Amino acid sequence: MKNSKSSLAALTVGAVGVVYGDIGTSVLYAVKEVFGSGHVPFTTGNVYGVLSIFFWTLTFIVSLKYVSLVLRADNNGEGGLVAMLALASQAVKDKPRLQRALLGIGIFGTSLFYGDGVITPAISVLSAVEGLEVISPALNDWVIPITLVILFGLFAVQKRGTSGIGRFFGPVTLVWFAAIASLAVPHIARHPEILQALSPHHALGFLWRNPGTTFIILGAVVLCVTGAEALYADLGHFGKKPIRLAWFGVVMPALTLNYFGRGALLLERPEAVKNPFYMMAPDWALVPLVVLATAATVIASQALITGAFSVTKQVVQLGYLPRLNVQHTSVRDTGQIYIPAVNWGLFVAIVLAVVMFRSSSALAAAYGIAVTLDMLITTVLTFFVLRYGWNYPLVLCAAATGAFFVVDVAFFTSNLLKLFDGGWFPLMIGGLIFTLMMTWKRGRAIWPRSCAPTRSTCPASTEAVFISPPTRVDGTAVFLTAEPGTVPNALLHNLKHNKVLHEHNLFVTVNYHAVPWIGMDRRIEIEPLGHACWQVMLHYGFKNDLDLPRALERIRGHGCEMEAMTTSYFLSRDVVVPTIGGGMAPLAREAVRADAPQCKRRCRLPEPAEQLGGRTGQQGRDLRSA
């Protein structure tokens, strides 16, 4: 029981750091953007009304939608938009047209995650460093350079992994939430009447008096919940209970106190709107607070960068992106990965955002569209999971998601007002990623059909080979092929040039499925082809790590005793010649090189040193991630 309680406490503290880092640092800029916009005059009624809108936005979107409803939609313990997409598409698998539509919507939402991944680190770190301007206006010129240095350091250390520093994320963020709550207490103590804004009638009254202004400021109010999607995405890392305990026990009370403390400050000193967060603090605490805020924003950015690596890996395994170089940074935690292309691509885009917008207020104009659209897509997918996956009555499903849908639409349409002020930036990034994903998926679907006339099937070819059998050599040959049942080019070239065949031959195809995990008991399917040849199918979920040698160990006992030192791996390579009229646009054909009614295929046999693990005993390390 003690171990159980200790584990729950550790997971809860970890959730505070990883899950809520983004939403916790939104206090740096959310209130400033609402009151600093000039749309809301400083009257007591308006301050009460805006604070009430903040509180009930947190309650409705985070507490009710994500913590109470969406967390229930776990896919074998996993969360996030990819897991929700897998659940929704599986729920409507008997409705192909609806399934295709949901897949398109879900993949577009996943693409928007990258747009959010560019804006979040930029606005978080920049807003923290802007505290230097409060310390001394002379430091204003140093804000951009210091921000870029911090961001470069953050991305440069990614290849080393986060297992070493990750243990400090929770405690540091816990100190951050304690600090932002403590800053508010003196101001609330001087104006305890500010707590009246907890009543929803203040929010409704503000909406009734200022419907147009309310609609406009929703684009800034939503900044207080940017990070709610991470709550669902990290479900698999921490579980429902720690995430809920962290929210209701630490994060929600700290955020509420800080926002209401800011309201009390603004009633007392309206000029503090320039930077109400830092102006809450006494002068002696400004430097430590800037340092703590910078640390908190780096942690929030780290969580999002790690999420970008995980999402990319999942999307690759679902077949929407080409294979990328995935490096494991921990020998114990398979979830700790590093993808160089994603890491430095994000860094370049973030630097561009910082240099283009130059302030957190300008970045706030770009922030919100991608986030609110992702929230809207999550609500839509949740409806289909409830209705067709869990078979709840239509009325109940509509009631459970309808109110969230209306609120999400309101926030999204309000953020559309920012489109030409910077909102186009994350949408452009998401649109480019979505185009790449759909083009790759389309090309990969056309390619096998285009090449089908040039391929030979395994049973017929193996029987033809053994009419006049070649010389057999000791060992096992593993031929990797994308299409099961077809003869790999590597085998044909091996026969043509070396005129030998190994004692045992495996034709291996790897299949990824729209579920997070597939256990080892369902990992492998084996079909004997005769003459010591086997067709092998390996099955992985989008969260599984590919470990080919380990999976193939299960073939022992089926007539093939694989040994690491006598196993060679062969890879063939297809060179596709694009032609006109094959089903894709000319630009897509040139970019993806996947549309070819007439294929030319070539195979380069690896030299002994290039054979992936062949006769070296190192294939486990070399093939563990593909």
What is the DSSP secondary structure assignment for residue 92, as one 8-state letter?
A: T
Rg (CA), the chain: 28
The whole-angstrom separation of Cα 79 and Cα 73 is 7
Report whether 150 contacts 298 (CB < 8 A): yes
The whole-angstrom separation of Cα 135 and Cα 289 is 11
Report whether 125 contacts 150 (CB < 8 A): yes
Question: By C-alpha distance, which of 34, 483, 72, 76 is closest to 266?
Answer: 34
pTM value > 0.75:
yes
Q: Which string of DSSP letters, residue by residue, matches 190-224?
A: H-GGGGGGGSHHHHHHHHHH-HHHHHHHHHHHGGG
The whole-angstrom separation of Cα 476 and Cα 44 is 80
CA distances from 435 to 80, 404, 432, 449 (A): 21, 29, 5, 22
Question: By C-alpha distance, which of 111, 110, 116 is closest to 80?
Answer: 110
Q: Other CB atoms closer than 10 Å to residue 52's CB: what's the count?
A: 24
What is the structure's pLDDT at 620? Answer: 36
What is the structure's pLDDT at 593? Answer: 44
Q: Are strands 600-602 and 500-513 parallel, antiparallel or unpaired?
A: unpaired
Question: By C-alpha distance, which of 423, 420, 419, 417 is closest to 216?
Answer: 417
What is the structure's pLDDT at 463? Answer: 61
Please list the residue range(s) of the chain that carry CATH number 1.20.1740.10.
12-441
Question: By C-alpha distance, which of 526, 522, 563, 527 is closest to 544?
Answer: 522
What is the structure's pLDDT at 626? Answer: 37
Residue with tokens 């800080």: 258
What is the structure's pLDDT at 422? Answer: 86
What is the structure's pLDDT at 597? Answer: 34
- Mean pLDDT in consecutive groups of 10 residues from the start of the chain, 626 residues: 64 85 88 80 88 95 93 81 86 89 90 86 88 82 91 87 69 94 94 93 93 90 85 80 92 95 90 87 90 90 82 83 78 71 92 90 83 91 92 91 94 90 89 90 73 54 65 84 74 77 85 76 82 85 77 75 79 65 56 38 36 35 36
Question: By C-alpha distance, which of 437, 438, 626 is closest to 544?
Answer: 626
Length of the chain: 626
Residue with tokens 């994000």: 346
The neighbouring-strand residues paired with 537 are 509, 525
Per-residue H/E/C for 58-76: HHHHHHHHHHHHHHHCCEC
Question: By C-alpha distance, which of 80, 115, 86 is closest to 99?
Answer: 86
**Fold of the domain spanning 12-441:** Amino acid/polyamine transporter I (1.20.1740)
Six-digit token pair at 501? 């065949």
The whole-angstrom separation of Cα 428 and Cα 373 is 14
Which residues touch 169 (CB under 8 Å, ≥6 apart)? 14, 17, 18, 21, 299, 302, 303
What is the structure's pLDDT at 132? Answer: 85
